[in-house]
Amino acid sequence: MSDGLRRSPGLHGHVEGRDLGTSVTVLFVTHDKPGGGPKLHWHPYDELFVIRRGRARFTVGDEVIDGGPGDVIRGPANVPHRFEVIEAPYEAQDIHLSPEWIQTDLE
């Protein structure tokens, strides 16, 4: 029996809400070195970044936000965003307000 957790390159793992009968998808993100992070992309739904450890610089539309432990940063639906780790190790849970992970890369 599957626990619903999937492993993806660059991620510790993720679980899609549809696999659990919920309307949120959760990604478990870790980076061991500064400079890590996703390419510029967008989603058709909001995303929340919950930082547990380390620091990252987020670009959300035209805004640049430095975040650290305890911060929650919102990436609004349809707004291009990315982050770059500036202090490692970095750990976060990224909450996608959708039962499935949908991402359009721009880079």
Place of tokens 């890369």: 105
Q: What is the pLDDT of residues 25-46, one digit of tens each?
A: 999 999 999 999 999 999 999 9
Residue 19 above 70 pLDDT? yes
CA distances from 44 to 9, 63, 66, 90, 96 (A): 22, 19, 24, 26, 10
CB 30, CB 12: distance < 8 Å: yes
Summarize the confidence of residues 41-52 as an average pLDDT: 97
Q: Find, among 6, 31, 29, 33, the residue nearest to 17 by Cα.
A: 6
Question: What residue segments make up the domains of the chain, in order of their start?
Answer: 13-100
Q: What's the confidence (pLDDT) of residue 12?
A: 58
Q: Which residue has the higher pLDDT, 2 or 40?
A: 40
Q: Using CB atoms within 10 Å of the CB of residue 31, give its burial: 0 to 12 exposed, 13 to 18 middle, 19+ buried.
A: buried
CATH architecture of 13-100: Sandwich (2.60)
Global pTM reads: 0.85
